């Protein structure tokens, strides 16, 4: 699909960069004139995806997170969050509500939250090679 606009970013998998990712996505998405509710949903989904990469992908080192944003036809915002970390052995299990490998302090609701706030969610992962989370949301035209 031909993108009407796009950006690509890469940053260290540090929790401090989760806020940066949220802000970058919000700034890029603003060209579609989303409502505050739509923008909040998108920022929350991005937070979950980036936090998953920070917490789960690189348990013993600081790797990188790649963020790709595209504006597609019909005002669709596509967000791709990719890491080159440990990967997910069983994506179906990982997407189940309350499943976590992050210990008691993690809720296990990340993928469920992403799915509920976005129109589409796709998760691809190869153990030892990383995970790619692709989300999309159509921004409703106002007026």
**pLDDT tens, residue by residue, 108-117:** 677 888 899 9
- The tokens describing 69, both together, are 């944003």
Whether 105 is catalytic is: no
Whether 52 is catalytic is: yes
> Which of the four CATH numbers 3.40.50.2300, 3.40.1280.10, 3.30.565.10, 3.90.1150.10 does domain 5-138 have?
3.30.565.10
Catalytic residue among 48, 70, 78, 137: 48
Catalytic residue among 52, 70, 78, 137: 52
pTM: 0.88
Catalytic residue among 68, 106, 115, 138: 106
Whether 38 is catalytic is: no
**pLDDT tens, residue by residue, 42-96:** 999 999 999 999 988 998 899 999 999 999 999 999 999 999 999 988 777 776 7
Tell me, letter by letter, the H, E, C secondary structure of the chain. Answer: CCCCEEEEEEEECCCCHHHHHHHHHHHHHHHHCCCHHHHHHHHHHHHHHHHHHHHHHCCCCCCEEEEEEEEECCCEEEEEEEECCCCCCCHHHHCCCCCCCCCCCCCCCHHHHHHHHCCEEEEEEECCCEEEEEEEEECCCCC
Give the domain ranges of the chain: 5-138
């Amino acid at each position: 699909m031909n993108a009407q606009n796009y950006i690509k970013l890469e940053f260290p998998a540090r929790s401090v960069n989760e806020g940066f990712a949220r802000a970058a996505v919000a700034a890029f998405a603003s060209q579609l004139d989303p409502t505050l509710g739509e923008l909040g949903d998108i920022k929350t989904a991005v937070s979950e995806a980036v936090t998953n990469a920070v917490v789960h992908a690189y348990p013993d080192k600081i790797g990188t997170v790649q963020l790709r944003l595209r504006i597609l036809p019909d005002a669709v915002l596509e967000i791709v969050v990719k890491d080159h970390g440990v990967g997910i052995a069983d994506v179906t299990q990982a997407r189940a509500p309350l499943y976590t490998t992050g210990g008691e302090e993690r809720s296990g609701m990340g993928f469920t939250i992403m799915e509920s706030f976005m129109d589409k969610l796709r998760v691809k992962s190869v153990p030892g090679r990383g995970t790619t989370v692709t989300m999309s949301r159509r921004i409703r035209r106002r007026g």
